[in-house]
Amino acid sequence: MASLARVRLARRLPTSLRAHVRSVQTTADLTELRDKPSDPSQPITVKLHEDSFQSYLCDKPDLEVQVTGEELLTMYKQMQTMRRMEMAADALYKAKLIRGFCHLAIGQEAVSVGLEHGITPQDRVITAYRCHPFAVLRGGTIKGVIGELLGRQIGMSHGKGGSMHIFTPSFFGGNGIVGAQVPIGAGVSFAQKYMGEKTCTFALYGDGASNQGQVFEAYNMAKLWNLPTVFVCENNKYGMGTSAARSSSNTEYFKRGDKIPGLQVNGMDILATKRAVEYARKWTVDDQNGPLLLEFVTYRYGGHSMSDPGTTYRTREEVQRMRSTQDPIRGLQKYIEEWGVAAEQELKQLDKEAKAEVDAAVEEAKASPEPLIKDLWTDIYYKNTEPAYMRGREREEVHHY
């Protein structure tokens, strides 16, 4: 990868020249232990790698982080569960039980789980179609996501929305139109400010959507009105089958907000992602500095969607190298074991529990019935706001609620 090549090159250059080539680090396991109390209930102190962040018009977050052993294990279990869920969706799609579109986030788990550990339940999140982990972490269920993919009644949108339309009260969905969720996210944060809420909205999009005009329009309005919006670019290096360098004249996406400050983050280290999200929330909510742009440098192991083999525009060796050397779950596992938080056998037990949870959810979702014909006329309006009747395909065809 280009960013890694720049980091390696920087290590060979004289110190006086390094500032011109240094880039954000994307290795998953370079955080160092600084202090571990004898009491396991007390937080341990760690220091993130110095290249975990690059900043634009703002200071970098503090590299010292405090985290409890319990939170490390929770994050590990959640990342394993999210990956198991996506792997299950992969198998169901290949078995032709899931049809249509299906975009998986295998390899990007540190972003979704790290984001959830850095915000509050009252904050809002909106993203594009690579949305399954966010939906679960923001109050949904695994069986609800799998059921939705299968088109079953147990699905979070009752089997009628599919992969791209899954919502919770604090998660405004996966959205199918490229980049369209970004101005919606700015609108949600406008409502938060208008109503005097002490919350913010994280509006996520990919590097492939970063060149959409509506993204820049949202930047402009958010800065003009000083909205509590955190614009989040998940830069997984490829927009569909096109590398970032071929689609964008400026691949430093954290600098593309003009007057909006930005932060580039190692999106493969969950402790770096959590720290960045905490920083962003403080920036927008506590300090009321207006919008901030985060760029998480991450990587997807699979293709853009299930119809994309993912190897026609990159080599199998590149994907394998990322899996074997920079995997976010393996990086967190290394921390947990080396810092004496838990032994390998304890983590294997968490792995088994994650697999069992996903397997049970898949079976429950598969057993759920498909939506009924009458369900076509429901959920058109928000519950309790429906009109008394709905006209059908012809003027004479009327459906009463």
Rounded Cα distance between 48 and 253, Å, is 22
| Mean pLDDT computed over every residue of the chain | 93
Q: What is the pLDDT of residue 401?
A: 67
For residue 3, is pLDDT > 90? Answer: no
Confidence of residue 21 (pLDDT cuts 50, 70, 90): very low
Residue with tokens 């993912």: 310
Alpha carbons 77 and 284: distance in angstroms, whole number: 29
Q: What is the pLDDT of residue 383?
A: 82
The pLDDT tens digits of the residues spanning 279-301 come to 999 999 999 999 999 999 999 99
- Model pLDDT for residues 360-375, shown as the tens digit of each residue: 999 999 999 999 988 8
Report d(CA 202, CA 188) in Å as an integer: 10
What's the pTM value of the predicted model, to 2 decimals? 0.92
Q: pLDDT tier at 49 (50, 70, 90 boundaries)?
A: very high
Pairing of strands 201-206, 229-235: parallel
Q: Decide if 27 contacts 268 (C-beta within 8 A).
A: yes
pLDDT for the residue 10 = 41
Summarised one tens digit per residue, pLDDT across range 226-278 is: 999 999 999 999 999 999 999 999 999 999 999 999 999 999 999 999 999 99
pLDDT at 17 over 50: no
Contact call for residues 357 and 142 (beta carbons, < 8 A): yes
Q: Where are the domains of the chain?
A: 32-370
**Residue pair 292/88 in contact by the 8 Å Cβ criterion:** no
The mean per-residue pLDDT over the stretch 296-325 comes to 96
**233: β partners:** 205, 295
Q: Does domain 32-370 have CATH number 3.30.230.10?
A: no
% of the chain residues with pLDDT over 70: 94
Mean pLDDT, range 69-97, rounded to an integer = 98
pLDDT, tens digit, for every residue of 102-161?
999 999 999 999 999 999 999 999 999 999 999 999 999 999 999 999 999 999 999 999
> Can you point out the beta strands (E) in 173-228?
201-206
Give the pLDDT confidence of 161-177 residue by residue, as tens digits: 998 899 999 999 999 99
Q: Calculate ∠ Cα 111-112-113, nearest 5°.
A: 95
Q: What is the per-residue pLDDT for 382?
A: 81
pLDDT in tens, 372-388: 988 888 888 888 898 88
What is the per-residue pLDDT for 11?
A: 40
**pLDDT of 2 over the 50 cut:** no
The residue written with tokens 């960013």 in the block is 3
Q: Which residues contact 121 (CB under 8 A, 6 or more apart)?
A: 139, 170
**What is the pLDDT confidence band of residue 8, given thresholds at 50, 70 and 90?**
very low
Is it the case that residue 32 has pLDDT exceeding 80?
yes
CB contact at 8 A, 267 and 251: no
pLDDT at 12: 40
Question: What is the tens place of the pLDDT at every residue in 264-284?
Answer: 999 999 999 999 999 999 999
Residue 135 near residue 145, CB atoms below 8 Å: yes
- Residue at 55: amino acid letter: S
282: Cβ contacts below 8 Å, ≥ 6 apart: none
